[in-house]
Structure 1
Amino acid sequence: MSDADADSESNPYLRDPPTEFEPAESLDRDDAERQASLLREAIREHDHRYYVQANPLISDAAYDALFSRLVALEGAFDLDTTNSPTNRVGGEPLEKLETVGHTAPMLSIDQSTEAADLREFDERVRREVGDVAYVCEPKFDGLSVEVVYEDGQFVRAATRGDGQRGDDVSAQVKTIPTVPLSLRGDPPGRLAVRGEIYMPKPAFADLNGRRVEAGEDPFANPRNAAAGTLRNLDPSVVAERPLAVFFYDILDSSVTPETQRAALDRFHDWGLRVADDYVEFADDVDGAIDYRDRMLDVRDDLDYEIDGTVIKVDSRDAREQLGEKSRSVRWAFAYKFPARHEVTTVRDIVVQVGRTGRLTPVALLDPVDVGGVTVSRATLHNPDEIASLGVAIGDRVRVKRAGDVIPQVVEVVEDGGGTYEFPDECPVCGSPVDRDGPLAFCSGGLSCPAQREASIGHFAVKGAMDIDGLGGERVAQLVDAGLVETVSDLYDLTVEELVELEGWGETSAQNLVDAIEETKSPSLDSFLVGLSIPEVGEATARALAREFGTIAEFPLDEDVPEDRFDAFEDRLTTVPDVGETVAHRVRDFFENEDNRAVIRSLLDHGVAPEPVETGGDELAGVTVVVTGTLQVSRSAVKELVEAHGGNVTGSVSGNTDYLVVGENPGQSKRDDADEKGVPTLDEEEFAAFLADHGVAYPPE
């Protein structure tokens, strides 16, 4: 509803509304629908004035009367309540959170607490695209979400998740008053926006007070409270919690403003809440640095948590030229605040064993409040860090939360007279500890119980073998019951064994057995990810899979000569993105006979990793640049072209063969293409070009 509508005399529920009504049952259906429509319009406007503009038109009592009247009408006449304000009260509890794909990737941004790193970012930006202006915004310490609208109506909301897919939290987000269910003005037909859901600090304190009075554990900080609330399966509980949102970016739209400034202006027009008071524009990096320093000064005065500032290139066309990396954009930078510090006493030091066998010392502390969070444990990173700090049991130490999240010990303030020596044996399995520079690792491999349980859980995650229904709690249950010692034991599980365990029925047991069976033909890269090889994530696994082709190319025999491992490590160092350190860690993994035995057992159980599809060389020598929005993501286009031997770059040059132009393209790339004589293809022509080369588009 526009401001003109809001001031119109045609809606009696906007200014000085009636608060007493005749019984709903006395109206006929047409009159009830007309009155409900006017009430919805008015309540949306009152919500916007109250929650977004902080400038209410009517009293709380009058608002409550209008809201109650709308509830009564919808109930009496069974009216459609899609995106009605009455949805704010929440609906029926959900059985679980479904996973949904994002309309566009929700990528992260590079970050640092050092001004020099921000200056480096600025130099790179100006080197690649010339002079730019920046938009400076607070970096909210909340939960990032995607909210999707179609024809101005709320459709869906999802958490960031892995950046490609997230949890569907639509039912929960619909209850948040600052999230409009219907956009104002003239919004685009398709709009996906990114926002940060948070819990205001005063509301957080009040909520924790009520939880303590009720005998419940308080939340550690506002961010944890917001995250825990948003993932609550009962939307009515979410509706009772004081969540709010700020919106700050367009992820996808049928009409995209040319600058970030224009986008934020349009957010106002559409009724999307922006942190107006603290958004500024800077012509250079010095202005961005000054902005961060001023925000640090006012940080504690805000009623919401921030942990830094975000510096964004204003021009959307320049953003397109800068492009993105696999996990982060190249046109924004988070200039973080320094971590908060407090002093406490080290009562003990314990060593944890991680999934890859890495040993991490942890200081057990006298509880201390660090930036609003009670800290009783802090990482000491590795043996060299302990030696460097000179920390021992009984010392008084200074603790900070790195990035305001992970507690760590930064210095010894007072020597307590104690000593500490890092163990030579794994505290879990007793295997010798191997040192790799400053790091320490258990040599037990997958035979170590600590690594074993964690590796089983990792084996099942998305990106690895993706075994639906095998989460951390169930893995622990299977290990405790003696049913699973290594990942290969998963393929021996039976329905009969599972139903004997607490919480399992025939259906859930059969579903898990079936899900495990369905993973017997994984791609080689997914299989490698699932093995918990140190330093090997999804990108490195894909590179290894392309280089080696099949699992048989890896050293797996029971007796492998030393020179075979030498040759294996030499070959690893030739793989793109695999340096000497990663190559050495991968060699160490395969040199461990227990690890090789687990892999052989998996293969004996019928697990047959399939080679990664590389397509071919149909597009060898072809270089394309993409501008605008296509029916598939730009990353999908890049994967498709590169899989068939081609190349996708971020800017037009003399080496570019084609510029592919989608909807709402950037002007500069088209100008560059005209200047350099580079042919342009629309999406239909691009699909035809690919078809001529034997490549199907869009990719499945």
Structure 2
Amino acid sequence: MAEVSADENPYVEEPDTDFEPVAEMDEAGASEQAELLREAIRHHDYRYYVENDPRIGDRTYDALFTRLQELEEAFDVQTPDSPTRRVGGEPLDELESVEHVAPMLSIDSSGEAEDVRGFDDRIHREVGDVEYVCDPKFDGLSLEVVYEDGEFVRAATRGDGETGEDVTENVRTIASIPHHLRGDYPDYLAVRGEVYLPLDAFTEFNRERVEQGEDPFANPRNAAAGSLRQLDPSVTAERPLDCFFYDVLAASEEFPTHWSEYEALPEFGLKVNDRTERVDDIEDCIEYRDELMADRADLNYEIDGTVIKVNDREKCAELGTTARSYRWAYAYKFPARSERTSIMDVTVQVGRTGRLTPVALLEPVDVGGVTVSRASLHNPDEIAEKDINVGDEVQVKRAGDVIPYVSEVVEKHSEGHYELPDRCPVCGSPVERDGPIAYCTGGLACTAQLRQAVAYYGSDDGLDIDGLGEERVNQLIDAGLLESLPDLYELDEKELLELEGWGEKSAENLLAEIEKSKRPSLADFLSAIGIPRVGTETARELARTFESMDDVMNADSDELEAVPDIGPKVAAGIREFFDSERNRSVVEQLLKHVEPEREEVAGGDELADLTFVFTGSLSEPRSDISELVENHGANATGSVSGNTDYLVVGENPGESKPNDADENDVPILSEDEFWNLLEEAGIDR
């Protein structure tokens, strides 16, 4: 896109917004004015988002934009790349998966300066002296954006690093991401950026949600991620998303350094962060991080550290990558932030499995740019240990800079500590303790658990009933059509058609999916009914051991403990679940409609005597991968021990399983290494 001259375009400098009535214009004049407006709006977007130097006020910009919309609607002169496309196109049926032009890998990280210096020592050993480029580590959603001949053609989320979700239509609505590049751009350019929600916009957006009776978003990152993954682009367009770009993934011309990318991207019209710096050595990187952390509270976007990159791209290529991360980059993380506030009240949430979670309702406090009004108290033992109660002044932190929790009481204003009720606050069933965890014994008959239980029953980890998402479940329950799980099988088309938003096709599809669910595998059914601590892997072990649902329901503790990967606590939980009259009644009602079948395992013994544990996000459902290895003779368990042969680590794993693997000398495989192992064993994916 060429530079716009004020002499040639009257809407660039001090535009006159006293427009001629649309009704008095002809199509030729409307088309010419619309093109000038499109050109000017793109210019003003660049000045505002990239240059941070707007030349017109918001009201004037809005007048130009509204005029363009009026002309395009009245004369049907809209172009595919018009700025008005930012208000959103047609809703999508689903987000498709697309392969990235180059892997979008993660980076190793630490909050310790010595680890950062260790990274620098390795770099110097392998490639000699280097200089670094330091960026803020944005806490948003990573994005690939592709331009061909200067035109925006595609955008995708990071996904598993190799493939991501196609969010092209949603990204078109983000004003800071241009539809056309500027200047002397490459013929082909794929760039990586971070979509985020500015903190001031996030606060205002949440305020509006609360005023409309909707739950606020927990943090800007969740809000950005949820906004970008909407199926309706017009919903995304209503969210005030923004984006910083910081890396060239692929291009038709070479960039010798990361700094040359940083200098070039704004020339192409792509927004970069003004806190990026080029430094001489690792001590400068550490100083950069400390200075950025000191300024963190003044930034209008969330960051959780800094990213240190070797500047020279040729040396980056020499350093290479691991299966999951770039070896030429390192993240120096910030410590978790904390603030003080008072506990106004404590409420109790009842989860899908009946677990009671006490939640502190706080006097709103800003923690890391996010207004926090509630925080987890975890469990009764922790409440007692910290001596937490209503009225106390407490320190609030954000675990991983995301989840708020009360870390300590800093000033006591109450006597004693908060104690959980003896009965479920929703259904009145007795509350039982399992160590530090408290459970409602109402089970599937507890209405607080019903919404989550039905949604889980129809989820991928349950019976995979397409169309039975959380929104639909809530609607069915609120309409009185679902008072217990077995009511699913009593739904009829007439009842569904009376609900708002339902047509014949959607009703027929849901009923057909429910009908399909009547002959599940025994493993899927056991997983679906929500027995505490029985996930997909444990359910498969139960189904492999017992012949029928009756056998599982009537197995004693010794028989259950004989099942692989089931210990005394899990066995006791299963026994308690089926000993509950309410639970047993619900299951028996379900079995009047559903006939679980024991699957015969078909496969080989290529992986005989091997034990795998999986952690983190994988490219396929973990249950499917576990089933694959089990079908070829292996065991897939949920915890790492000395008997484990391999721990397979996906994206965003927790710390406990890798730590257990290190302690037990268990080899850790990336997902790619795992698939290679299976390929070498002659097992098709």
Structure-2 change in CA distance of 1:618 and 1:141 (3 Å): closer
SS state of the match for residue 139, structure 1?
strand
1:101 to 94, 97, 103: 97
TM-score by length of 1: 0.67
2:179 to 178, 181, 186: 181
Write out aligned runs for 1:162-561 (5 A): 170-184=168-182, 185-187=184-186, 189=188, 191=190, 193-199=192-198, 201=200, 242-249=240-247, 264=262, 267-268=265-266, 270-279=268-277, 284=282, 288-310=285-307, 317=317, 321-324=321-324, 333=331, 335-344=333-342, 346-371=343-368, 373-419=370-416, 420-427=418-425, 428-436=427-435, 438-462=436-460, 464-479=462-477, 483-484=481-482, 486-499=484-497, 504-519=502-517, 530-532=528-530, 534=532, 541=536, 545=540, 552=547, 556-561=551-556
Q: Does 1:572 align with 2:556?
A: no
Query: Which residue type is aligned with residue 245 of structure 1?
Result: C
SS state of the match for residue 49, structure 2?
helix
Query: Would the aligned equivalents of 1:199 and 1:226 in 2 still touch at CA under 8 Å?
Result: no
Q: CA deviation at 1:385?
A: 0.8
SS state of the match for residue 558, structure 1?
helix
CA–CA distance in structure 2, aligned partners of residues 597 and 358 of structure 1: 20
CA–CA distance in structure 1, aligned partners of residues 319 and 484 of structure 2: 47
Long gaps (5+) in structure 1: 574-579, 622-632, 648-685
CA–CA distance in structure 2, aligned partners of residues 63 and 347 of structure 1: 44
Structure-2 change in CA distance of 1:330 and 1:323 (3 Å): farther
Query: Would the aligned equivalents of 1:73 and 1:79 in 2 still touch at CA under 8 Å?
Result: yes
Query: Would the aligned equivalents of 1:102 and 1:165 in 2 still touch at CA under 8 Å?
Result: yes
Query: Would the aligned equivalents of 1:433 and 1:440 in 2 still touch at CA under 8 Å?
Result: yes
Q: Does 1:592 align with 2:587?
A: no
Q: CA deviation at 1:409?
A: 1.8
Query: Would the aligned equivalents of 2:27 and 2:75 in 1 still touch at CA under 8 Å?
Result: no
Instruction: Count the aligned residue pairs.
Output: 616
Query: Which residue type is aligned with residue 197 of structure 1?
Result: Y
CA-to-partner distance for each residue in 1:466-519, whole Å, 9 max, x for gaps?
433323343234345564455454234222343455665544432321232344
CA-to-partner distance for each residue in 1:36-73, whole Å, 9 max, x for gaps?
77876675455334421235689999989987997788
Query: Would the aligned equivalents of 1:292 and 1:309 in 2 still touch at CA under 8 Å?
Result: yes
CA-to-partner distance for each residue in 1:422-448, whole Å, 9 max, x for gaps?
445544442341323x33334454344
CA–CA distance in structure 2, aligned partners of residues 515 and 251 of structure 1: 42
Query: Would the aligned equivalents of 2:522 and 2:548 in 1 still touch at CA under 8 Å?
Result: no
Query: Would the aligned equivalents of 1:194 and 1:251 in 2 still touch at CA under 8 Å?
Result: no
Query: Which residue type is aligned with residue 154 of structure 1?
Result: F
Q: CA deviation at 1:548?
A: 6.3
Query: Which residue type is aligned with residue 452 of structure 2?
Result: A
Query: Would the aligned equivalents of 2:12 and 2:44 in 1 still touch at CA under 8 Å?
Result: no
CA–CA distance in structure 1, aligned partners of residues 503 and 27 of structure 2: 51
Q: Residue 681 of structure 1 corresponds to which residue in structure 2?
A: none
Q: Residue 675 of structure 1 corresponds to which residue in structure 2?
A: none
CA–CA distance in structure 2, aligned partners of residues 316 and 611 of structure 1: 50
Structure-2 change in CA distance of 1:96 and 1:80 (3 Å): closer
CA–CA distance in structure 2, aligned partners of residues 478 and 414 of structure 1: 46
Query: Which residue type is aligned with residue 83 of structure 1?
Result: D
Long gaps (5+) in structure 2: 611-617, 635-674
Structure-2 change in CA distance of 1:229 and 1:480 (3 Å): closer
Structure-2 change in CA distance of 1:618 and 1:585 (3 Å): closer
Percent same amino acid among aligned pairs? Answer: 43
CA-to-partner distance for each residue in 1:245-298, whole Å, 9 max, x for gaps?
2124567889997976566566446432221423556854x6554333211111
SS state of the match for residue 407, structure 1?
strand
SS state of the match for residue 6, structure 1?
coil
Query: Would the aligned equivalents of 1:199 and 1:223 in 2 still touch at CA under 8 Å?
Result: no
Query: Which residue type is aligned with residue 397 of structure 2?
Result: K
More deviation, 459-468/605-614:
605-614
Query: Which residue type is aligned with residue 115 of structure 1?
Result: E
Query: Would the aligned equivalents of 1:361 and 1:380 in 2 still touch at CA under 8 Å?
Result: yes
Q: Residue 605 of structure 1 corresponds to which residue in structure 2?
A: 594
Q: CA deviation at 1:397?
A: 2.5
Structure-2 change in CA distance of 1:10 and 1:521 (3 Å): farther
CA–CA distance in structure 2, aligned partners of residues 230 and 319 of structure 1: 33
SS state of the match for residue 298, structure 1?
helix
Query: Would the aligned equivalents of 1:139 and 1:307 in 2 still touch at CA under 8 Å?
Result: yes
CA–CA distance in structure 2, aligned partners of residues 572 and 329 of structure 1: 37
Structure-2 change in CA distance of 1:694 and 1:350 (3 Å): closer
Alpha carbon RMSD of aligned pairs, Å?
5.8
Structure-2 change in CA distance of 1:417 and 1:695 (3 Å): closer
Q: CA deviation at 1:410?
A: 1.9
Structure-2 change in CA distance of 1:224 and 1:38 (3 Å): same
Structure-2 change in CA distance of 1:127 and 1:152 (3 Å): same
Query: Would the aligned equivalents of 1:463 and 1:529 in 2 still touch at CA under 8 Å?
Result: yes
CA-to-partner distance for each residue in 1:127-148, whole Å, 9 max, x for gaps?
9989898654323344555545
CA-to-partner distance for each residue in 1:222-242, whole Å, 9 max, x for gaps?
667767876788867866775
Query: Would the aligned equivalents of 1:343 and 1:398 in 2 still touch at CA under 8 Å?
Result: yes
Query: Would the aligned equivalents of 1:524 and 1:611 in 2 still touch at CA under 8 Å?
Result: no
Query: Which residue type is aligned with residue 556 of structure 2?
Result: P
Query: Would the aligned equivalents of 1:352 and 1:362 in 2 still touch at CA under 8 Å?
Result: yes
Structure-2 change in CA distance of 1:116 and 1:635 (3 Å): farther
Structure-2 change in CA distance of 1:381 and 1:613 (3 Å): farther
CA–CA distance in structure 1, aligned partners of residues 250 and 587 of structure 2: 43
More deviation, 258-267/268-277:
258-267
Q: Residue 679 of structure 1 corresponds to which residue in structure 2?
A: none
SS state of the match for residue 333, structure 2?
strand
TM-score by length of 2: 0.68
Structure-2 change in CA distance of 1:329 and 1:423 (3 Å): farther
CA–CA distance in structure 2, aligned partners of residues 127 and 610 of structure 1: 56
